[in-house]
Amino acid sequence: MLTIVFDLDGTLIDTAPDLIATLNLILAGEGLPAVAYDDARRMIGGGARGMIQRALEAESRTASKTDLDRMFGAFIEHYAAHIADLSRPFPELEAALARLAGEGRRLAVCTNKLEWLSVRLLNALQLSRHFAAICGQDTFGVQKPDPEVLRRTILRAGGEPARAIMVGDSGTDIRTARAAMVPVIAVDFGYSEVPIESLRPDRIIGSFADLPAAIREIETESA
C-alpha cells in the first residue's frame, strides 16, 4: 500500500489568516508594526517560533531567548484558541482524500506545526479521520527538512519509506522528501517564497482534483 504524506500549512489547509492575525497581535504587544499579509504569508512553514523570528528580522530586530520564548508562548496560547476561525481546507481537498482512500492509499500528515495544534486544527475541520498518523515538529524531536521526521511519520502510519510520496508547498518539503529519497508532489497555491517550479519537484498540481492522477504517474514511472 502506498503512503501519501501531506504537509499541513499551505498544503492541506489555508491557515494563513489565523496565523497572520496571531503574529500581528503578538507584534503589537511588543510595540512593533504589523507585517503585511503577503509578506507574512511567506514566513509560514518553519513553525510559530520561526515565523516570529522572521518577522523580527524583517524589522531588523533581535530578541533574547527569554523574550522569544515569551512571545512564542503568547502566540501558541492565542492561536490555539483561534486555530480555525478563518482557516479552511483548500478547494477539492476532501474529495481528493476520499478518492485516495477509496484507491487504497494510506494517508498521513508531516508538519512543522506542533502535533497537538495540528490535531486540534484537523479535528476542528473534521479532517482527522482521514489520516493514519499526524506528526509535528515535537512528535519525534526533529523537524523538516530533517528527513527522519518524514521517515518516522511514514512508519507511524504503518507504511514503508520505499512506498511513499510526499505532498507539500515549499522548499522545506521538497528538501525533506529528497533527503528521504521519497518522490514529491508540490502544490502551486501554498506559501512558497519562490516559484515552486524552480524547486523541481517530481510533479506540480494546481488543484487537489489533479492529485490522484499525479500519484498514478509517479507510480508508473517507479514501477
Q: Which residues have a catalytic role annotated?
A: 7
Q: Which of 134, 24, 17 is nearest to 87 (CA)?
A: 17
Amino acid at 158: G
* Helix residue ranges, H only, 42-92: 47-58, 65-81
Maximum alpha-carbon separation in the chain: 57
Can you list the positions of beta strands (E) in the chain?
Answer: 3-6, 13-14, 88-89, 106-110, 133-135, 164-168, 184-187, 203-205
Q: Is the peptide bond before 145 cis (omega within 30 degrees of 0)?
A: yes
Instruction: Return d(Cα 6, Cα 101) in angstroms, integer.
Output: 14
Question: 164 - beta bridge partners?
Answer: 3
Residue with C-alpha cell 482557516? Answer: 87
| Cα dihedral across residues 214, 172, 44, 148: positive or negative | positive
* Helix residue ranges, H only, 115-162: 115-124, 147-156
Burial of 42 (0-12, 13-18, 19+ CB in 10 A): middle
